[in-house]
Every structure is written in C-alpha cells, then in structure tokens.
Amino acid sequence: MKFTLSWLKQHLETTASAQEIVDAMTMAGLEVEHVENPAQKLAAFTVARIVSAEQHPNADRLRVCQVDTVDGRKEIVCGAPNARAGLTTIYAPIGAYVPGLDVTLVEKPVRGVVSNGMLCSAAELETAEESDGIMELSGDLAVGTPVAEALGLEAVIDFEVTPNRPDWLGVAGIARDLAATGIGRLKDLSVAAVPGSFPCPIEIRLTAPQACPLFAGRVIRGVKNGPSPDWLQAKLKSVGLRSINALVDVTNLLSYDRARPLHVYDVDKLSGAVIEARMGLEGESLEALDGKTYTLTADMCVIADASGPLGLGGVMGGESTGCSETTTSVFIESAWFDPLITAQTGRATGISSDAQYRFARTVDTGFVVPGLELATKLILELCGGEASEVLVAGAAPAAPGAISFDPDYVQRLSGLSVTRERTFEILAHLGFAIEGAGTTVQVTPPSWRRDVEGKADLVEEVARIAGYGALPSTPLPPVISAASGILTVRQNRARMGRRAMAALGYAEALTWSFTSRKTASLFGGGDEAVVLSNPIASDLDCMRPSILPNLIEAAGRNAKRGFADVALFEVGPVFAGDRPKDQRTAITGLIAPHAPRRWDQGAAEDVFTVKSDLMALLEELGAPVASLQTAQGSNSPWWHPGRSARLQLGPKAVVAEFGALHPSVLKALDVDGPVYGFELWLDSVPEPKRKGKSKPGYEASSLMPLSRDYAFIVEQDKAAGDLIKAVLGADKALIAHARVFDVYQGQGVAAGCKSVALEVTIQPKDQTLTEAEIEALSAKIIAAVQKAGGTLRG
Amino acid sequence: MTDLATLEAEIVSAVQASADLAGLDAVRVTVLGKSGSISALLKGLGSMGPDERREQGPLINGLRDRVQAVLTERKTALEAAALDAQLAAERLDLTLPAPPRRRGSVHPTMQVMDEMTAIFAEMGFAVADGPDIEDDFHNFTALNFPPKHPARETHDTFFFSPNEAGERMLLRTHTSPVQIRTMVSQAPPIRIIAPGRTYRKDSDQTHPPMFHQVEGLVIDRNIHMGHLKWTLETFVGRFFETSDVVTRFRPHHFPFTEPSAELDVQCDRTGGELKVGQGSSWLEVLGCGMVHPNVIKNCGLDPDEWQGFAFGMGVDRLAMLKYGVPDLRDMFASDVRWLAHYGFSPFAAPSAAGGLS
C-alpha cells in the first residue's frame, strides 16, 4: 500500500521529515518497501527569477541571463526559447545532478561565456515526460523555494502490512500508531452523523449472517455525479488509483483513508426495493466491474436484488448497477463481511480488489456506521443531494473481550523496562481501554484490533511502541551439561559421512526430496501415501524412496552439458511412507565414470571402486565392518542382478546396497551407463557397543607374522567370500587375514570350475610355530575349505 | 727385471683398455686367474732358491698388489659408468600426468549448517530432529495458526491425499514443528536448534520449492527478549566473523511468537559485494520472537511458568550471503562445475580454533 506525507499529515500533526516517518513506521512494525521522495531527489533545485536575458555574443540561439537565485545573482547561459526577463523558473547550481540529463553540472564556458548554473525544464527534473523550454512558474513564489514545495511534489511511501494489522490498510490507522510513538499528535478521527431527511426506501435483508452479519445503508437522492474535484483526483493518483467519478472515488478514498471499503449502487438500476446479502446459488453468474463474468457458488456471499446477483459481497460489485455520470440516486453499502469467506471467494475467483484485501483481513466492526456517515458527508459535499435515514441490519460480531494484565509482565517477557504509566499511555494511544487500579488491570482492545487476544499481545504493543531499540542484550544463563559433543551418534555420523565422502572424491549435491511417481516406482516407491496432491510440477509429485534416481538424473544433466565424468553424493532423507518412522537418512554415492583416457593404461573404475569407497565410509562411520555379510543375488531390482550386493548384519538388518545400476533403469532415466553407486541407511548402522572415550587395549605381537599361499579349485559360481570365511574360521586365534590374490579359469582347471588363490596371514601369539604346527594349521585350512566345497589345487 | 716392468706396463694398459666389466674380468683372469701371468710368477717363487726368492718375492708380490689395485680402481670406475648408463636409461618423463584423482567437496549449504551448529553448540544448544512429512497439528495448529490461515492453503503448502482417517499429511513449511515435538517430548529447560529441509508451494525464481532452515528454541523460567537479542547478536557476529556487527530488531508478525521480530544486520552492498559490519543498508537475516503462550499451552506446558524464544533462519540464503553465491536455484542444480567452485574441502570442518570458514 502507498500513501503520501500530506495525506498522513491530515491525520497526524507532525513536523517529522519523510525519512523520520519511514524510520518510525519501520520500528513500529510496518515494512517500508520503497520511498519515492522528490524533495530529497530534487533538493538542489530551487525557484529563481530571471532579471534580464541578453543575446549571447557568439551564439544565435543562446541567451545570457542574469538570474536572482538562492545563491545570489548569477550569470547563466540558457538555450531555451522561453528564457526571458521576469520569468520565474527553476535553478540548478554548479555541482547539482540533473536526473533527466544524467549529468552533474560543472562550471565551464558556453561559447566563451561562463554559465554559473542551469535553468531547468520539467523533463530535466523528471517531473514530466517531455517539456518545451524551461519551467514557467507563478511569480508569487519566493526565490529559493525548494522545487518540491513549489510544484507540490510529495514523498510517496510504499509499504507492506502484516496480516494481523488490517487497521494499517488505512492511513488513519498508521497515523494512530505513529502518534503513539511520539512522532506527532493524532488529529480527531471522530465522524459526525449526517441526519437523514426521509426513510431509506431500500430494505436490507440478511439471509446469510455467517457471511454478512452486519449491513448499513442509506440512499442519497438528487446527486449530481461527475468527475471528482482536482484534490481528490490528485490524492487518488498519488497512491496509484484511477479516478472514476465522484461517487466511486469517495468509496476508494475511504478504503485507503480509513480501511473502510464501501460500495455504491445506482438506485434507478435496482430491481425492486430490497437488497439482500445471501449465499450464491448454483447456476448463478455475475458480470463484475472488471468486465469479467464469474460463476457463483454457494460458498460465496452475494449481494442481490429481485433481478439476481448485483455483486460479490466484499469482493467486487457488478456492472449492472454501477454508478455513472447519469446517476442521480445512490444507495451506499457499508457492510461487514466474514474474513474467511471473503478470502475463500477471492481465491476461488482470482479477484484481489482493495475491498477483498481488506475484508479478508478483518475490517473494523466499530466503523460500519461511521464509515457510512463519512461517505455521506463527502458525497453531499461533492455531489449535493439529500440523504435518507441510515438503515442498519444485523449486528457486529462480538467485540474483543477484556484481558487481565499486569504491567510488570512487559519487563518479564520483553526485558524492557517501561513504567506502568508509560505502558498505560501507549495502550491508551493505541485505543485500548484500561479499567481498574490494582496490580492487574483490565485492558479492552479497540474494535479495530481483533488480533489482540492475550497479555503477550499487549506486551508486543508496548514493546514495539517503546521501541525494540531499547531491548537489553542479556547473556543466556550458562548450561552445565553438554560442554562438548551435542550431537547424537546418528547426527555425528551424518556429519562425518559427509566429510568422508568428500575426502573420497565425491562432490556433495543437494537434490529435491521429491521426484516423479514413475521414477519413484522404479526404485520401490510411489505409494499413494507419499504422492503429493498439489505438486509444483508433474515430475516432482512423489517423495523419493531413494536418493539414487536424483543423483542418476543429475549425472545425466551433467553429461548433457558435456561433463560426463561425475562422482556425486548426498546425505538426506528417503521416504518409505508418510509416518515419521518411514523417513530414513541415506548416504548415497554415485559414480558415472568417464575418466580421461590414460597413457599408463591404469584400471578403469568399476563396481569394486564403489565397494571400496563404501567400505571406507563404513569404517569412518564406526560400523562393525568385520561382522558385515556381503549378500549377493537378493538385491533390489534397480541394480544389475549379477553386479550388485547388499551389506547386512543379517537378512533383516541391511545396512547398504551397492553395485552397477540396472541398464533398463538407466534407460528409463535416459542416462548412459555404466553407472555405479551405493546407498547406505544411516539408521541401520548399529551404535557402537563400546561406551566411553578410551580405546580398547593395544596388543601387538612381537612375533613375525608368516604367510602361506593356497589355491583351491571350486565351482565357478562359488563365492570367493565363502572361501575366505572358511579359511578365517579354520583357526580364529592364529589366522589374521585371508586375501584372494588370483582367480583363474582355463587350461589346467576343469571346465565349470575356477581356481582361487589366497594368501593367508598367520600371526603366532605366544611362541614361534614349529614346522609341524604350521603343517597342522594348513591341514585345518584345507579341511575347512573342503567342507565349503573347495579342493586344494594339486 | 725388465720383464716384470714390461709385464706390468702391458697389464696396466690392458686394464685401462678394457671397456666393460666383462672385458676387465677377462684381463683379471689372464693375469691373476689360475693360469694367469702373475699367478705363474707367484707359483715360480716356490721353485726358487732362498736368495733368489728373497729378491724376487717382494718384486712379484709388489707387482701383484699394484695390478690388483689397478684392477679394483678400474672396476669401480666401470661400475659407476654402468650405473650412470642404467639410470640414464631409466629416465621417465615426469611431465606426464599422474593417475587422475577426483576432488570431492562439501555443499555450501551443509558447510553453513555445520558452522551454525558449531556456533550454537558453544552456546549450549543441542540439535533436535523432526520428520519432513508432518501433520496439520505440528505444522499449524499447535503453532497457533488460525483455522483457514492462508498458509494452510494448497497454494502455499504441499499436501498429500487424505488417508483413511481423513488426515491430510503435508510437507513441513518450516522447521518450527520441531519446537512442538521437542516441547512435547522433553521437560524444560530446553535449548535446541533444529536444522532441516522445509518446503513451500509458492515457489518462483528466487524461492525454490525446497530449502533449508535452522530453528532455535529456548524455554526456561525467566527467558526474555533480551536473551533473544544477545543470542542472535552473538550468532550473527560469529557467523559473519566480525566483531562490530550492528543489528536491528524490527517488529513483525508470526502466528507462533508474541512479541515477534525480524532481525536486520547493518551492511554495505555497494559494488555488488556484501560487507557486514559497515555501510548504511539493512539486511533481513531471520524471524524470531517470544514463543506464543498458546504454543506453550498446546505443548502441555503452563505459559505462566515457562517462557522463552524461538527463531528460524534460511540456511541457503545465509550461505549465499556469506559466500557470494549469486543464484539460489544453482544450489539445487547439482552442476559439477558449480559444486567444485562453491564447495568446501572435507577438511575445512568449522571449528573454534581453525575458524568457521
């Protein structure tokens, strides 16, 4: 909303500058968006009078003028044809910035004559689009008068109002708050009743009190409608409104001045003598003042006569009964429409009128009849005529109740020290009524402050007027607990996992928590419960069951930009349902390897790269890596069936899945493979059993470890992991590691079989092993592997 | 005599003439080998008479020692030359690239979240979590949003379809529901922050449908707005790493706080770069206020006994402001070039000693 300083000053007696007003508004809670202040912008420009204008000696079109200015008499060269002796115009001194020319004036000779300033046109000051010669002003103006004052230019303040303060949607309401801050004195806002000379000939009927509980109206007959006087037109123009005609302009004026929307009907266009506020009927429609036709519903409040709907109550009037220059008899509506129904109608129709905006935010229930009286007074002044008696139907919703209030609560809640007297003074300035004299008093909010419901609201009123600038800065009391390590194990793991992944060469991405339902269903999601009913786009309509598809698509986007080699990760939520327990935190890594070709023929990245990174990550997270089983063949269907596995502590305790993504999934996401990845569910990583900070005891054997190599023949589908498990299980005390170093198929190995070679590290504990003991251990290893289906290669 | 001198001269010249270790060894064999010339002379000593042996012995032994020394010297020289030649042959072009290694990075939003966590941890705040998919009670009703508040509309909030119980779940529009979950589940005094993802339907060029917030909540018996001011002033100074930060609390409106405020920070925006702690502009940083008595009541606490403050700030936006990221949408685009440019080293974890950035 906008207003001008002079408009404000009609309600507020103040000498404050525009900037002071803006600062006071800001600190009272009004967010000022923008101030257009010509007085500031044009501060350098003042009224001057040309004493003489002589022909320039060296230029036909130039004149050398002697000018009386705020800086004394100056010699100024001017090219305007209207520069003549006696003309009152605008002077810009050397050093002034001329906005219309985008230049700063410097002292320099013009064809050999030094010009000590400039005489300006309206275009040069940007007060008009174009102009013909320098400004011609009234001779009454004193030399030195600022141009803004001479031209009546005003600061226009553009601001936003929070939804709790509909009273600020009228200039008078702002003046009231500013007066409370002490920047000025509030002028009398009271409205005198205009007596009617005949009964109101129109009956008001309320049949939807939930939407329109109160409706006041009257007729003024014998009016002469036409263009508004200049002051009213200028006033509306200053805040960006278009003047229509006097009757309509009065309603707009009161909407902006008192936050009181009104509507005027041409009585001669009404059918019958009854105006009814009712709910819309199915099948009805309205041709509104904006020229559009709206379909009405039973959820909308309609103003109707015998012919049908005349307007949407509190939203917009209809074309059929609008006031024009031919109107001679007018019915003024001053009603109170329910905020929720008005807001709903606004959304349903897409109409956001000044009236709708105000009613949706709750207008003052106490200003229904005064608003009507004020409109009557203005219409009689502007259009003449004779007013009927006021007709009031219905009653206002109950006024806000009294609040028990101990003024000490101001300090207790805000920390501000405000005296009891000042507290009461502020509340009184804002229109609150205070009763009682004890520690606790009864404070009743004014009818325009239905947002104030409790004592905390009263503290806010006092605090913001007393000024948040005075708030003390009070350190929080120290806390004894949690001197360090405030994060839970899971929170800390997310943090460490993030940095571990980055250290492993993955770039952290943040992708949407949603994806398309189609994509989600490729990754085991897409349940009805996690499908958004109002997505921003159809491809973002479902909560993601996995981070993988988002990272795959990100890899695809990067590839399309020419950056195909991608290693990305994300730590974030995945959703299996809509309950809190269905949300898990995943750490997901993805590699789309398109590494540069190498001169040294190094090995390309493959599924073992992500396995290695996943294992490194699990180590960093403190997961029980030694207990993890690698289970193959039971993975989710979005993985390559032969090149993926899960890491689990048991069939029902899956910690992670990794592998190559299934080619058909990649195809569905339009991404070229191969793509490798893993997804780890942080919530599935058990918390460490060990508590406390100290490390377990350190045991380093003084005896040399020894290693022995074995090759076993197994069926080609046999998992190497089974052999390792068998070897390790042969003697848990002595066997420290077992590692596969060769896998061979071909000559010397029967078809359908493979040879797996392992290096087994034996760590003697108490004494060096004898050759016989080593032989015995070997026999145990061979026997254990035999049991697992492998025979020693001869 | 002249025979020995001649022999020595011949041997020395043969040693000097040998071009490699094999050649040198061949010379050695012809001189000192089983049937070598000096070996023969040494053998001849045995058949000499004592006087002749006394005369010839030192001469022949001296010859052998000198020849041995010449051989050793030559061998050392030839070995050194051979090593030089081998090393020269082993030369590698070290301007060739080493095996490629990717450089990973931490996203600026997450880096800033870690910074915030570090700052508030020092002030004794714990970290609380809550689900992204919320219900109407936690996201709106308990936070004192009136029925049919515009935020409850499908225009502003993402909703799911109503379930069998008629309950319509939604994506939380702020991290404030964690206030409720915390107050309901733990007894005051409470001092937490709650970082997380939040969602708004009314997205446009500068408002993505998903963003990150950090919520703060302090509930105790005597907490007032002065504590809020100190906490946020301390935070802003630490976050922007300047000791002379000037802040301004401006009245505002939120349904869940009363009194409510927005915090502005004085800054200089000339030249396209944001400098906090100087200049004449104000930058809105966050919203805050005293927790509304209705909210405290909705969590089963007595607002006449417990009071406190809450605040909420946009993490992505603060990351942009601090690190000069021009466009919010890029934060969620996963462009590897952007991630490499604006991302942080994994080893740059914020700390009191190493600095927050």
Q: Cβ distance A251 to A262 under 8 Å?
A: yes
A475 touching chain B per CB within 8 A:
yes
Interface of A with B in 528-567 (CB under 8 A): 528-536, 540, 543, 550-551, 554, 557-558, 561, 563, 566-567
B334 to A558: CB separation less than 8 angstroms, yes or no: yes
B260 to A460: CB separation less than 8 angstroms, yes or no: yes
Interface A-B, measured as beta-carbon pairs within 8 A, has a size of 253
pLDDT at site A602: 78
Q: What is the CA radius of gyration of chain A?
A: 42
From chain A, the residues in CB contact with B180 under 8 A are none
Q: Which residues contact B319 (CB under 8 A, 6 or more apart)?
A: B108, B109, B111, B112, B325, B331
B229 to A488: CB separation less than 8 angstroms, yes or no: no
pLDDT in tens, A201-215: 999 999 999 999 999
Question: Which of B145, B224, B228 would you mutate first to test chain A, the one with the most A CBs within 10 A?
Answer: B224
Q: Which of A75, A58, A73 is nearest to A117 (CA)?
A: A75
Chain A: residue nearest B251 by CA?
A29
- Provide DSSP, A599-618: TT-PPPP-HHHHHHHHHHHH
B336 touching chain A per CB within 8 A:
yes
pLDDT in tens, A48-86: 999 999 988 888 888 999 999 999 999 999 988 898 999
From chain A, the residues in CB contact with B354 under 8 A are none
Pairwise CA distance, residues A435 & A416, whole Å = 23
- Mean pLDDT of all residues belonging to chain B: 90
pLDDT in tens, B238-274: 998 888 888 899 999 999 999 999 999 988 877 777 7
pLDDT in tens, B150-201: 778 777 899 999 988 888 999 999 999 999 999 999 999 999 999 999 999 8
Question: Which of B93, B96, B102, B123 would you mutate first to test chain A, the one with the most A CBs within 10 A?
Answer: B102
Cross-chain CB nearest to A557 (options B106, B260, B334): B334
pLDDT at site A481: 58
Judge whether residue A759 has pLDDT over 70.
yes
Supply φ then ψ for residue B265, to 5 degrees.
-120, 135
DSSP state at residue A625? G
Between CA B129 and CA B135, with CA B134 as vertex, the angle to 5 degrees is: 135
A476 to B191: CB separation less than 8 angstroms, yes or no: yes
B108 touching chain A per CB within 8 A:
no
A471 to B249: CB separation less than 8 angstroms, yes or no: yes
Q: What is the mean pLDDT of residues B24-31?
A: 91
Task: Grade residue B351 by pLDDT with cuts at 50, 70 and 90.
Answer: confident
pLDDT at site A244: 93
Q: Which pair of tokens denotes residue B261?
A: 């405020």
Is residue A187 exposed (0-12), middle (13-18) or buried (19+ Cβ within 10 Å)?
middle
pLDDT at site A484: 55
Q: Count other C-beta atoms under 10 Å from residue A632's C-beta.
A: 15
Distances (CA, A) of A728 to A715, A724, A731: 20, 6, 6
A584 touching chain B per CB within 8 A:
no
Judge whether residue A18 has pLDDT over 80.
yes
B163 to A529: CB separation less than 8 angstroms, yes or no: yes
From chain A, the residues in CB contact with B214 under 8 A are none
Q: Which residues contact A532 (CB under 8 A, 6 or more apart)?
A: A514, A540, A541, A542, A543, B158, B159, B160, B171
Between CA B285 and CA B292, with CA B289 as vertex, the angle to 5 degrees is: 145
A510 to B331: CB separation less than 8 angstroms, yes or no: yes
A474 to B345: CB separation less than 8 angstroms, yes or no: no
Q: Which residues contact B312 (CB under 8 A, 6 or more apart)?
A: B174, B175, B176, B213, B214, B215, B216, B286, B287, B288
Judge whether residue A381 has pLDDT over 50.
yes
A580 to B123: CB separation less than 8 angstroms, yes or no: no
A476 to B231: CB separation less than 8 angstroms, yes or no: yes
C-alpha dihedral sign at A333, A338, A339, A340: negative
Interface of A with B in 400-429 (CB under 8 A): 411-416
B111 touching chain A per CB within 8 A:
no
From the CA of B85, how many Å to the nearest CA of chain A?
24
Task: Grade residue A483 by pLDDT with cuts at 50, 70 and 90.
Answer: low
A573 touching chain B per CB within 8 A:
yes
Q: What is the mean pLDDT of residues A18-34?
A: 91
pLDDT at site B148: 77
Question: Which of B288, B317, B336, B345 would you mutate first to test chain A, the one with the most A CBs within 10 A?
Answer: B336
Q: Which pair of tokens denotes residue A15?
A: 């000498």
A456 touching chain B per CB within 8 A:
yes
pLDDT at site B303: 95
Cross-chain CB nearest to B226 (options A464, A474, A533): A474
B159 to A578: CB separation less than 8 angstroms, yes or no: no
From the CA of B248, how many Å to the nearest CA of chain A?
7
Supply φ then ψ for residue B238, to 5 degrees.
-70, -40
Distances (CA, A) of A289 to A244, A262, A753: 12, 14, 88
Element housing B318 (H / E): helix B315-323
pLDDT at site A237: 85
Q: What is the mean pLDDT of residues A338-366?
A: 93
Q: What is the mean pLDDT of residues A283-294?
A: 92
Is residue A269 exposed (0-12), middle (13-18) or buried (19+ Cβ within 10 Å)?
buried
B158 to A534: CB separation less than 8 angstroms, yes or no: yes
A169 touching chain B per CB within 8 A:
no
Cross-chain CB nearest to A456 (options B210, B226, B293): B293
Task: Grade residue B1 by pLDDT with cuts at 50, 70 and 90.
Answer: very low
B197 touching chain A per CB within 8 A:
yes
Which is more confident, A673 or A507? A507
Q: What is the mean pLDDT of residues A21-46?
A: 89
pLDDT in tens, A241-280: 889 999 999 999 999 999 999 999 999 999 999 999 999 9
Q: Cβ distance A171 to A18 under 8 Å?
A: no
B163 to A578: CB separation less than 8 angstroms, yes or no: yes
- Mean pLDDT of all residues belonging to chain A: 92
A454 touching chain B per CB within 8 A:
yes
Q: What is the mean pLDDT of residues A345-350?
A: 92
Q: Cβ distance A648 to A714 under 8 Å?
A: no
pLDDT in tens, B62-77: 888 998 999 999 999 9
From chain A, the residues in CB contact with B121 under 8 A are 484, 486
Q: Which residues contact A306 (CB under 8 A, 6 or more apart)?
A: A271, A272, A274
Q: Cβ distance A717 to A753 under 8 Å?
A: no
Q: Cβ distance A523 to A548 under 8 Å?
A: yes
pLDDT in tens, B207-232: 899 999 999 999 999 999 999 999 99
Q: What is the mean pLDDT of residues A747-758?
A: 92
- Among the residue ranges A95-104, B182-191, B308-317, the one predicted with the least confidence is A95-104
Find how far residue A224's CA is from the centre of its chain. 48
pLDDT at site A531: 96
Q: What is the mean pLDDT of residues B278-284?
A: 85
Task: Grade residue B275 by pLDDT with cuts at 50, 70 and 90.
Answer: confident
From chain A, the residues in CB contact with B302 under 8 A are none
CB neighbour burial string for B128-138, b if at least 16 within 10 angstroms, e if fewer:
bbbbbbbbbeb
pLDDT at site A468: 94
B38 touching chain A per CB within 8 A:
no
From chain B, the residues in CB contact with A486 under 8 A are 117, 121, 125-127
pLDDT at site A482: 54
From chain A, the residues in CB contact with B294 under 8 A are 454
Q: Which amino acid is at A328?
A: T
pLDDT in tens, B195-208: 999 999 877 777 89
Q: Cβ distance A222 to A239 under 8 Å?
A: no
Interface of B with A in 275-304 (CB under 8 A): 290, 292-294
Strand partners, A75: A66
